């Protein structure tokens, strides 16, 4: 199973440098794709930021939001509900101070780790932390 953090999911919906690689990965459909509640929240935040920064028009942001919601309803993704177990694991890693993890990245990693999923991220720091914690990472 693959776990996509938000940095890896966004290029599927908006054309970016890594869009072709992400699209190939998701359209292959040979592995289930896991996202979390946090991914849904960060997706909404990104849309809001893009509109505020005039990178995307409101109408386009609404279409992207609907497309993402439709993909969730169509079971393109398996949704990992954030739990106390995830929060506790993320907290444990943060308290160990062995990585440069930040709060939300630690929560993404905890979801991937507890589900024994392979992390897909475009965030270099998160990628390095995952490797340091023994979490499998899919290189694009």
Using 50, 70 and 90 to split pLDDT, how confident is the model at 4? Answer: very high
Residue 14: inside a domain, yes or no?
yes
Question: Of 113, 112, 119, which Cα lies nearest the Cα of 137?
Answer: 119
Q: What is the predicted pLDDT for the residue at 119?
A: 96
29: pLDDT strictly greater than 80: no
How sure is the predictor about 5, in pLDDT bands with cuts at 50, 70 and 90?
A: very high
User: Global pTM?
Assistant: 0.90
**3-state helix vs strand vs coil in the chain, percent to 5:** 60, 10, 30
> Residue 100: what pLDDT?
84
Residue 140: inside a domain: no
Q: Is residue 26 part of a domain?
A: yes
Residue at 139 is within a domain? no
Domain assignment present for 121: yes
Strands of the sheet containing 78-80, edge to edge, are 78-80, 33-36, 2-4, 118-120
Answer whether residue 114 is part of any domain: yes
> Per the domain annotation, does 9 fall within a domain?
yes
**So what's the pLDDT on residue 32?**
80
State the Cα–Cα distance between residues 18 and 6, nearest whole angstrom: 13
Whether the pLDDT of residue 30 is over 80: the answer is no
CATH number at residue 95: 3.40.50.1010
> Which residue carries 């849309």 as its tokens?
47
Q: Beta partners for 119?
A: 3, 137
pLDDT of residue 50: 96
For 45-76, what is each residue's pLDDT tens digit? 999 999 999 999 999 999 999 999 999 999 89
Count the domains in the chain: 1
Full residue range of the structural domain in which residue 97 is found: 2-132
pLDDT in tens, 95-140: 999 888 899 999 999 999 999 999 999 999 999 999 999 999 998 8
Residue with tokens 């942001």: 61
Residue 137 lies in a domain: no
């Amino acid at each position: 199973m693959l776990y996509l953090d938000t940095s890896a999911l966004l290029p599927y919906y908006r054309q970016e440098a890594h869009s072709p690689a992400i699209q190939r990965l998701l359209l292959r459909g040979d592995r289930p794709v896991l996202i979390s509640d946090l991914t849904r929240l960060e997706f909404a935040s990104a849309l809001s930021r893009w509109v505020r920064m005039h990178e995307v028009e409101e109408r386009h942001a609404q279409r992207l939001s609907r497309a993402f919601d439709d993909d969730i309803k169509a079971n393109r993704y398996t949704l990992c509900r954030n739990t106390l177990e995830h929060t506790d694991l993320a907290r444990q890693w943060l308290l160990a101070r062995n990585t440069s993890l930040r709060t939300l990245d630690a929560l993404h990693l905890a979801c991937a780790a507890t589900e024994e999923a392979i992390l897909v991220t475009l965030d270099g720091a998160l990628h390095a932390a995952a490797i340091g914690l023994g979490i499998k990472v899919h290189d694009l």
